[in-house]
Amino acid sequence: MRQIPMREPDTLLEVRDLATHFFTDEGVVRAVDGASFDIPRGKTLCIVGESGSGKSVMARAVMGLTRAPGRVVGGSVLWCPDQDGQATDLATLHGNSRAYRAIRGPEIGMIFQEPMAALSPVHTIGTQLAESVRSRHAVSKRETRERGIEALARVGIPEPAARYDQYGFELSGGMRQRAMIAMALAAEPKLLIADEPTTALDVTTQAGILDLILDLQSETGMTVMFITHDLGVVAEIADSVAVMYLGRVVEHADVDTAFHAPAHPYTEALLRALPSIHAKTGERLAAIPGMVPHPFARPAGCAFHPRCHRFRPGLCETREPENVPVAPGHGARCLLLKPARKAAAE
């Protein structure tokens, strides 16, 4: 495993220019194509984007769980578990290697969108939970069970000892997702990747799960990468936000800046599309015109230009935008932006 010195000791995960392409019979789908972001230790980063923006594919790339015909074709995923500044580039490891398996599970845990699908239909919760416990601690059967039941209790599942021996289909949707969280947390990971964990749940259950993740985070100090398309969820839990569009992070900022002073027109448009309680009666909900383009028909230049309300002909469709650092910790990929220092000098 190659060790790379890191620049920022507070960063747990630094993703640079990550690219996952799917080599299908119809052609190459660039699902993630140069995504970059950082996650500081102990913080929550929300990855936001419409369906097809590559959020989940990116999460899988970080986990080393990219499925064929997909492949991580470029970029780096620097994992720096300790503050000594040493990092491992996960993108260079084989997904099924021993080194990756030592990280996946005990270091980085993941929960999925559909808890029912993520649970085996023919194994008990306990069987699956035990794997997680043992990935971190080599303990006896009895202790594995005790720790597993403890993990279920910690995520607020009533009668955890009975639930331990039950099957996924015997639990309610919310309880299933709690069980999934218990499985991820039983290994005491430093980073929890949550791929739309509340999308399949009803609103009250959703709130309960979000509160649980926040509580567990303040209790254990773990870092969370939360993938969602729900800006309401972002406002509730995020420290910082990465907005994805067609496989790229188009804006990266702390949560207040993202909501109140977005730099990228796409982020602006997303926020305008939120229903507001102050809206006048009869006013129509703003929508972003057009659709997310088909991955084979990626627009030239800035990929968002056909839907952009600030589209400038002759500029936006000709050049690909670079990441522009508009303020410290705030960057956006838009050709209309000027870097912070240059803007101040002018």
Partner 1 sequence: MLRYIIRRVLWAIPILIGVSIVSFFIIQLPPGNYLTALMASMRATGESVDMSQLQTLSERYGLDEPMIVQYWKWISGIVLRGDFGQSFLYTRPVSDLLWERLGLTFILAFTSMIFVWLIAFPIGVYSAVRKYSIGDYVMTFVGFIGLATPNFLIALILMYVSFTVFGQSAGGLFSPQYLDAPWSWAKFADMMSKIWIPVVVIGTAGTAALIRIMRANMLDELPKTYVDAARARGLSGAHAVTKYPLRVALNPFVSRIGWELPELISGATITAIVLSLPTTGPLLLEALLAQDMYLAGSFIMMLSVLTVIGTLISDLLLAWLDPRIRQGVVG
Q: Which region holds residue 6: left if phi is over 0, alpha if psi is between -120 and 50, else beta? A: beta
> Is the CB of 86 or the CB of 166 nearer to partner 1?
166
Cα–Cα distance measured from residue 62 to residue 90, given in angstroms and rounded to the nearest whole number: 7
**Beta pairing class for 108-111 and 330-332:** unpaired
Q: From residue 248, how far is each of 150, 173, 196, 242, 268 by CA, in Å?
A: 40, 32, 18, 10, 17
Distance of closest approach, residue 275 Cβ to partner 1, in angstroms: 31
Distance of closest approach, residue 201 Cβ to partner 1, in angstroms: 15
- Binders of partner 1 among residues 232 to 251 (CB under 8 A) are none
Largest CA distance in the chain: 69
In the chain, at which residue ranges do the beta strands (DSSP E only) sit?
Answer: 3-5, 11-24, 27-40, 44-48, 70-79, 86-89, 108-111, 191-195, 223-228, 240-245, 248-254, 324-327, 330-332
Q: What is the x/- site pattern for partner 1, positions 52-91, by CB under 8 A?
A: --------x--x-x-x------------------------
Phi, psi of 32 (to 5 degrees): -125, 130
Q: What is the x/- site pattern for partner 1, positions 180-219, by CB under 8 A?
A: x--xx--x--------------------------------
> Is the CB of 3 or the CB of 120 nearer to partner 1?
120
Determine, following the binding rule CB under 8 A, whether residue 163 of this chain makes contact with partner 1: no
Token pair in block for residue 167: 């099957």
Q: What is the x/- site pattern for partner 1, positions 125-154, by CB under 8 A?
A: ---x--xx--x-------------------
Determine, following the binding rule CB under 8 A, whether residue 321 of this chain makes contact with partner 1: no
Question: From the CB of residue 6, how many other CB atoms can be counted at a distance below 10 Å?
Answer: 19
> Is the CB of 67 or the CB of 342 nearer to partner 1?
67
**Of these, 81, 167, 200, 220, which contacts partner 1 (CB under 8 A)?**
167
Distance of closest approach, residue 280 Cβ to partner 1, in angstroms: 43
Amino acid at 185: L
**Of these, 121, 275, 282, 328, which contacts partner 1 (CB under 8 A)?**
121
Distance of closest approach, residue 140 Cβ to partner 1, in angstroms: 19
Cα–Cα distance measured from residue 51 to residue 236, given in angstroms and rounded to the nearest whole number: 21
Distance of closest approach, residue 74 Cβ to partner 1, in angstroms: 23
Amino acid at 322: E
Determine, following the binding rule CB under 8 A, whether residue 170 of this chain makes contact with partner 1: yes
Total of residues contacting partner 1 (CB under 8 A): 35
Cα–Cα distance measured from residue 292 to residue 282, given in angstroms and rounded to the nearest whole number: 27
- Binders of partner 1 among residues 247 to 306 (CB under 8 A) are none
Q: From residue 254, how far is each of 70, 111, 176, 231, 258 by CA, in Å?
A: 31, 24, 31, 14, 6
Binding site for partner 1 (CB under 8 A): 60, 63, 65, 67, 95-96, 101-102, 104-106, 109-110, 112-114, 117-124, 128, 131-132, 135, 167, 169-170, 180, 183-184, 187
